[in-house]
Chain A
């Protein structure tokens, strides 16, 4: 009774859901109750096909969306595998499918599942829709699947009727067009449901997103949108089911390529439709390769560079011990330090030995110091026996003390004197050589012969080496008293007296020494000589 109630109300609930406007789902309203009832109904429908399910019915009272989904999921998972087996079985035996097909038409909703399976196995594309349904069951919530199930059934029926007796390909084309239109509507209509060419994973994600997005109330919200998606999925699913199916579904391939191209240029669909994935021209293949290479390189360029290419890199910026792995090569600009081998030491020692033999050292030379004091007079001690007696020594001392002038010159005095004499003479000579600053001869007290040379002979233009001090003084030439009278001043008696003395002298001289005359002659000759000079 309860089941029947559920059944009726569930159907009504489904109908109601279907009829409500989509915006209603967005806001929280009483529609949530309706949705729950509908899910319960669908769950109950599937229950007979899933013996392993722990739930007899879907528990909705007081449960939130997550829990409800979990229950549905628990039921659907085992169903998936069983359905797959069924599909495979029917694929091998198509006739069985045909049999069950006819039964499907008149059946109630309870056989929906079987029908779906059978239809899915059909070689026609419309059955692909049913595959979608199967797909639905595999991927989506039970509620959605069931919902679609109801609708699809109607579509299937229509298609079935048309297809009987018509070639597959032909039909495929038509279906293709429908499919494309749906896709376009989908694309331009609802942005959220993106490309059909999406791989299954994306679709799954997408559907997961849908699931996440939905709240408790929005169980059936995606129902409409999923249609197209399911269609797309359908193709991929069919590809997977077996090679035979894939070859037969040649159109499916077309559809896929069409779907890809659709977004680019709609006109090229027909042309591109001729190419299948397996029949790419070499040009196409090369292009693809290039493209992949380009993608790789672009990706590499976007990545951060390897540390060896980064210019100046410190140890903190590269991974640990990475410098050990890289082969570093750079020029050393300094000469390496010398390795001290035996040969080096030997050569060094040879050099040292030769230097020693030559006594050629580079020692510090002491600078000759300037004498600050003169050397003390070193008194020479005479070893010889003294020639003077002691008495004589005392005598000399006494004499020196009393009368210094009479003292005989000591040895040192004599030397001193000699030295001073020599020095004076030298100085005189040096001075004489220079005219301008001539110093007169120092007075040396010694006996020297002075010649009676007239002054005029001395005074000559040539360098005067001898001063006129060497000449005899007038007094020395003429010796006599001061009173000198001229002959005119003499009286008679004076004259007589002079004559008498002169006579006397003359007689005396001539009598004593005739040598005196010689002397006169010498003087006269000297005078003549000097005169000639």
Chain B
């Protein structure tokens, strides 16, 4: 298990290295293709390699035409396997935090809750890997209010660190009787305004926590991005009385805002992993820039 992991990691790093060269090649091919399509002369810098590249272009198919980045390699096989999630908290969780984690347990299908106890993070992740979990989610708190969420994709995948804001749990809204039971159907997903490269990456990370739903599922989970703050909502819908166009939405489940502040190219226990992206709020232009979309 250990050696396999080491080998996989080496492959991953090797592919990452190749990526740079591949991208260059891709760019050149793209230029030639464009030139050929528009009937313009081929750019002079590519004249020497033109013949060889044209050959390669001819032999391209759908898979090879797009340059493969090591980043999305992590999710290449994710679609073939159903996700399995492990939920834990920081050490010594308070009662509100444990309640919140229980709710999250229901929100994410195929999730398993684990009491933290005195375990070290590396231990937790090792056990998760050996039991074939695909994701581990950590929730941390500050004086009863959940304030941090860490999603770590498992084989050696990326880790996304979020800050939780404006958390409203189901327990806060209503008494137990009125709450009723929450559906555990595989939900449909809605992602709104994730337009940039980073936004698409985050979308990928959040998407692959959920399994493939049925077409007629009534449950909807929404991630809506508004100036880098992602709103999470959980609804059940029903056809309304007004006809096929009217929909009745009923909000169910906790709601919170997520704010991404770091993405690392490694699992949670790998401190030395490369940081793919980190939020820098102290820059002068921080107010004007939006990283996740529009």
Q: What is A's interface to B at a CB cutoff of 8 Å? A: 333-335, 337-338, 340, 348-349, 351-353, 355-357, 361-367, 369
Contacts and interface: CB of A to CB of B under 8 A. Distances in A.
Given A334-B287, A338-B229, A353-B247, A362 B235 contact: no
11 contacts: A333-B284, A333-B286, A334-B287, A348-B224, A352-B233, A356-B247, A362-B190, A362-B191, A364-B78, A364-B208, A365-B79
B212 interface: yes
B231 A334 contact: no
Interface string B72-100: 00000011100000000000000000000
B210 interface: yes
A335 B287 contact: yes
Nearest to B283: A333
Contacts of A367: 79-80
A348 B80 contact: no
A364 B259 contact: no
B207 interface: yes
Contacts of A349: 235, 249
Given A333-B284, A348-B222, 17 more contacts: A333-B286, A334-B281, A334-B286, A335-B227, A337-B257, A338-B231, A348-B231, A349-B235, A351-B224, A352-B220, A362-B189, A362-B203, A362-B207, A363-B189, A363-B210, A364-B78, A365-B79
Nearest to B229: A338
B237 interface: yes
Given A337-B165, A348-B233, A363 B213 contact: yes
Contacts of A334: 281, 286-287
Given A362-B191, A362-B207, A340 B213 contact: no
Contacts of A338: 166, 226-227, 229, 231, 257
Contact of A369 (B80, B255, B257, B286): B80
Contacts of A337: 165-166, 229, 257, 259
Given A333-B282, A348-B233, A361 B257 contact: no
B33 interface: no
A357 B211 CA distance: 22
Interface in B242-267: 245, 247, 249, 255, 257, 259
Contacts of B245: 357
A364 B191 contact: no
B188 interface: yes
A314 to B, nearest CB: 19
Contacts of B188: 361, 363
B152 to A, nearest CB: 18
A359 to B, nearest CB: 9
Nearest to A348: B224
A363 B187 CA distance: 9
Interface of B: 78-80, 165-166, 188-192, 203, 207-208, 210-213, 220, 222, 224, 226-229, 231, 233, 235, 237, 245, 247, 249, 255, 257, 259, 281-284, 286-287
Nearest to A339: B166
What are the 9 A-B residue pairs with the smallest beta carbon separation, nearest first?
Answer: A334-B281, A361-B188, A367-B79, A362-B191, A353-B247, A333-B286, A337-B165, A366-B212, A362-B189
Nearest to B285: A333
User: Binding site of A, secondary structure by majority: helix, strand, loop or mixed?
Assistant: loop
Contacts of B281: 333-334
Contacts of B165: 337
Given A337-B166, A337-B257, A355-B190, A364 B286 contact: no
Nearest to A351: B192
Contact of B249 (A353, A366, A369): A353
A24 B117 CA distance: 91
A349 B224 CA distance: 11
A21 B227 CA distance: 99
A348 B255 CA distance: 12
Contacts of A369: 80
Nearest to B259: A337
A75 B213 CA distance: 112
Contact of A357 (B79, B226, B227, B247): B247
A340 B189 CA distance: 21
B55 to A, nearest CB: 21
A363 B208 CA distance: 9
A352 B248 CA distance: 11
Contacts of B229: 337-338
A352 B190 CA distance: 8
A365 B80 CA distance: 9
Interface centre among A355, A362, A366 (most CB of B within 10 A): A362
Nearest to A333: B286
A292 to B, nearest CB: 47
Which of B190, B210, B211, B284: most chain A CB closer than 10 A? B190
A74 to B, nearest CB: 72
A364 B204 CA distance: 9
A340 B166 CA distance: 8
A352 B237 CA distance: 10
Contacts of B191: 362
A356 B233 CA distance: 14
A367 to B, nearest CB: 4
B286 to A, nearest CB: 5
Nearest to B214: A363
Given A338-B257, A362-B189, A364-B79, A356 B237 contact: yes
B166 A361 contact: no
B186 to A, nearest CB: 9
A352 to B, nearest CB: 6
Contacts of A357: 245, 247
A361 B213 CA distance: 11
A409 to B, nearest CB: 42
A361 B190 contact: yes
B89 to A, nearest CB: 23
A353 B251 CA distance: 12
Nearest to B203: A362
A178 to B, nearest CB: 80
B84 to A, nearest CB: 14
A389 B164 CA distance: 79
A302 B31 CA distance: 72
A69 B78 CA distance: 105
A381 B220 CA distance: 45
A348 B192 CA distance: 10
Contact of A361 (B189, B226, B235, B284): B189
B220 A364 contact: no
A340 B230 CA distance: 12
Nearest to A337: B165
A364 B210 contact: yes
Nearest to B237: A356
Given A352-B190, A352-B235, A333 B213 contact: no
A357 B243 CA distance: 11
B153 to A, nearest CB: 14
Contacts of B220: 352, 356
B275 to A, nearest CB: 19
Nearest to B163: A337
Contacts of B235: 349, 352
A229 B39 CA distance: 116
Contacts of A351: 190, 192, 224
A356 B249 CA distance: 10
A43 B231 CA distance: 100
B169 to A, nearest CB: 14
Nearest to B239: A356
Nearest to B213: A363
